[in-house]
Amino acid sequence: MRTPRRTLGLALALSLGLQSLGAGAAVAPPLDSGCAGGTLVDPAFRDAAVLMMRRLVVRAPGQVSDGAIRRTLSPAHIDASGRAWHHIAAYEANLGLIGALRIDPTLRNEAGRWLRWQIRHLPVDGQDRGVLHDRWISADGREMTVCPPDIEPRHCRQIDATDSTIASMFLLAQAYLRHGGDAALLRDPAVEQAFRRAATTLAQLQQPDGLSHAKRDHPASYLMDAVEVAAGWRALAELQQSVWRQPAVAALSRERELRTRQGIEQVLWQPAARRWRTSADAGPVDASRWYPDVMAQAWPLLWSPPEDTRTRAQAQDAWTGVATRWTDWPRRNVDPAGFWWPAAAVAAHCSGNTRAAETWLARARQAWLQPANPFPWPFQVSDLLWLLWLAEPGPPQAPLPEPIPARSP
């Protein structure tokens, strides 16, 4: 649902062999989802994706950018003096790490550093307390800003959505803990306080119908945000219960999750059409529009918890109904903006259309494993959640090289 920026230019030398896993037994997904994980991604592709996750981590010891996670390897902006700037978007990085942690739990070290990095830069007061707006870091890692020189004003102090960005931080913390992360990090008073502020901001965005507004200055309630927010409340409740030992507060988060899910069902589901409205104020779904209308139908399927079989059945029906109109999506990027939408492959897998998922994966593999230009634009870090959803955890086919700290990330 998020939009990245420009071309990827750094080389990644990988000698990869192909060993197909095929469509074996289902494995656990990276989220609390009724949509099972898959075994469609071969080990070489999987390992290359994990290595890309590692290489997106900024390793600039002593600099303000150290520990941040770039949206892509290539700069997203070049200013008038020729300086390169990398884009940092918390939502994108959080989702990518959630997917990668399931495959390589040793990434908990990078996840812990990234959580601390986010928290160091969260505002502590004002209407945006607890939410990280996008940042820009210079290629040498020494400068950070919300508005680099010579960029269009619309890219300054930007965030795609406050509600889903906060939810993604809760979900990353949950994944960090589940994959062996140190609970002491989350018990740090500064960290706990940051999560409380974020929860307060998210609660203030929730409306009487249970849905949340995307931002304070953008009072729209989106389906894709809503299912992520419900999952975020669920994750936060787990942390409040198991880490901070706050059962009463955890109960409140579970109540907010329930209210969100009720809003999704009562406000956004259209029983006659058997489709999900893309937002509370949207009209009927336009199946000729890939985004948001078509892709939004997949989100309840992907994000609803295992016990919510009703929503999953509705979403599976809705997704299958609109996707049949787009027979060529596995073979080309049908989004007018050119984005890959790997979540479509996961939705196809979860709807029994393994052939479409495999066709999409074969195309992505060919495009993303170019030795001279791996994972090129419009790949972005959040794509790793969905790609690795379809991969089986296992030891790497060969030792993965350690990323080398560089003066130019």
Answer whether residue 347 is part of any domain.
yes
pLDDT at 9: 34
Q: What global pTM score does this model have?
A: 0.92
Q: Is residue 348 in a domain?
A: yes
Q: Which domain holds residue 36?
A: 22-56+325-400
| Residue 365 domain flag | yes
Q: Yes or no: say if 339 and 69 are a contact pair by the CB < 8 Å rule.
A: no
Q: Decide: 264 and 226 in contact? Cβ < 8 Å.
A: yes
- Total domain count for the chain? 1
pLDDT in tens, 27-77: 899 999 999 999 999 999 999 999 999 999 999 999 999 999 999 999 999
Residue 407 clears pLDDT 60, i.e. is over it = no
What's the first-to-final CA gap in the chain, in angstroms?
A: 26
Please indicate, yes or no, if residue 195 is contained in any of the structural domains: no
- pLDDT at position 13 over 70: no
Residue 44 is assigned to a structural domain of this protein: yes
Please check whether residue 313 lies inside any domain of the structure: no
SS (H, E, C) 314-371: HHHHHHHHHHCCCCCCCCCCCCCCCCCCCHHHHHHHHCCCHHHHHHHHHHHHHHHCCC
407 Cβ contact partners less than 8 Å away, ≥ 6 residues apart: 60, 140, 141
Contact 113, 106 (CB under 8 A): no
Residue 366 lies in a domain: yes
Give the pLDDT of residue 396.
Answer: 86
Mean pLDDT of the 78-93 span: 97
> HSE on the CB side for 236, CA within 13 Å?
31
Band (99; pLDDT cuts 50, 70, 90): very high
* 322-340: pLDDT as tens digits: 999 999 999 999 999 999 9
Q: Which residues face 144 on adjacent strands?
A: 137
Angstrom distance (rounded) from CA 24 to CA 255: 37
Whether 168 is in a domain gets the answer no
pLDDT tens, residue by residue, 159-192: 999 999 999 999 999 999 999 999 999 999 999 9
| 24 has a pLDDT exceeding 70 | no
